[in-house]
Amino acid sequence: MDPYKYRPSSAFDSPFWTTNSGAPVWNNNSSLTVGSRGPILLEDYHLVEKIANFDRERIPERVVHARGASAKGFFEVTHDISQLTCADFLRAPGVQTPVIVRFSTVIHERGSPETLRDPRGFAVKFYTREGNFDLVGNNFPVFFVRDGMKFPDMVHALKPNPKSHIQEPWRILDFFSHHPESLHMFTFLFDDLGVPQDYRHMEGSGVNTYTLINKAGKAQYVKFHWKPTCGVKCLLEDEAIKVGGANHSHATKDLYDSIAAGNYPEWKLYIQTIDPDHEDRFDFDPLDVTKTWPEDILPLQPVGRLVLNKNIDNFFAENEQLAFCPAIVVPGVYYSDDKLLQTRIFSYSDTQRHRLGPNYLQLPVNAPKCSHHNNHHEGFMNFMHRDEEVNYFPSRYDPVRNAERFPIPPNILSGKREKCIIEKENNFKQPGERYRSWAPDRQERFICRWVDALSDPRVTHEIRSIWISYWSQADKSLGQKLASRLNVRPSI
């Protein structure tokens, strides 16, 4: 018998029930008892193992993005951008890379309805020949805050009240009243886009600014954008209530059923790039995640297409255990000094080590599909087969060496240690421009949602006035309409 042939897989199922160690179970229906009535004997190892495994079936759910659905497929390069990056998976048109994608809501728990007003996660894991690349983003191109220091407080404010376990507008409006940088994100969240029709009909964005590096070592800032070929569709309030009332998993079902029927969802990937030497030419900081890059100045460049053509085989293994981290990049793609990205580099992997264990990247769905080599040893749930004698570096007994042809950008850094905000805040210009770009009926729906939120009885006059002041600075007529309907005088 080949001891390595029958690795844990349903492809090698026994025709008989067995214990986890492979021993046949002669009775999987009844507990071992003293006589026909009992009591039950502790020596019934199969019973104890079965119950103990069941007791541990639920791992901690994600703090954010707990509710999600996944699918598999491929990414194909359609346009040559080799002048911008030496990334192997982007080396030439026609190159295909297997992927797995996870869509999710952000704030609400694992069993929550998929029709709630909430950002949606859009995370793509590329299984490239040079390791995995995780492009972790949302369906909106901006974010609430620009510094990860605020992230835990932000999530606490968006989550249910710790006393009542009810999500309450006054807590959200109180927290963000201290952060006018959030206005741009709210023009997306309180817009019609706040409730996508399903996962197939929504855009995706990398949100953060990354760096592309070409073979010559030249770096370009980059933002990634996914555009669905079937268009963007959303649910208005009445529609969301109807759809959610009929099926609280409607988006998961739509994704699964569409792929099963051969109606494969597809997105086009576009990028925007900025020469780092030109980042001071704008009236905002390009590394500020509360800002979009104007497409009339920095046009979208087509790169490739994403096709999801295979449903996952097991929800737990390929959705709950599927783990992403913005720190997981490949040669040719690197980070920027984006302050939110810098904290996400640590936070995501740290979260998964807590949820899934220190060796979560050995799980099949997270493991690279290329050869790899390191000396990370042992720890909980380490199932890597190893037979080498040298587990240190360097060694004259092991020829492994540094990959010196893959350097990181050699930026020259200088400055004093300090905690400071991004200088070019410019919090109101882009939210105002976005509001003014809408048709009147869309503006009206946005206003109604804000009137409803600001009418919460626990929202104080001070907080209500602050928000009206913020929206007045974004667009004077918007502030006036809110003030009129709420009977509050705008004060700027």
Active site residues: 65, 138
Q: Where are the beta strands (DSSP E) in 245-332?
A: 266-274, 301-311
Using DSSP's 3-state secondary structure scheme, residue 244 falls into helix
**Which letter does DSSP use for residue 149 in this model?**
G
How many Å apart are CA 170 and CA 208, to the nearest integer?
29
- Helix axis angle, 250-260 to 237-246, nearest 10°: 70
Nearest to 112 by CA among 251, 290, 219, 8: 251
**Per-residue b/e over 45-62, b at no fewer than 16 CB within 10 Å?**
ebbeebeeeeeeeeeeeb
- Phi, psi (degrees; rounded to nearest 5) at 193: -65, -10
E strand or H helix at 429: helix 429-436
Nearest by Cα to 275 from 236, 237, 233, 222: 222
Q: How far, in Å, are 11, 318, 366, 369, 472 from residue 363 at the CA level? A: 17, 10, 5, 12, 51
Rounded (10°) CA dihedral 279, 281, 287, 291 = -160
Q: Dump strand ranges (E) for 214-300.
A: 219-228, 266-274
Q: Distance between CA 491 and CA 153 in Å, rounded?
A: 27
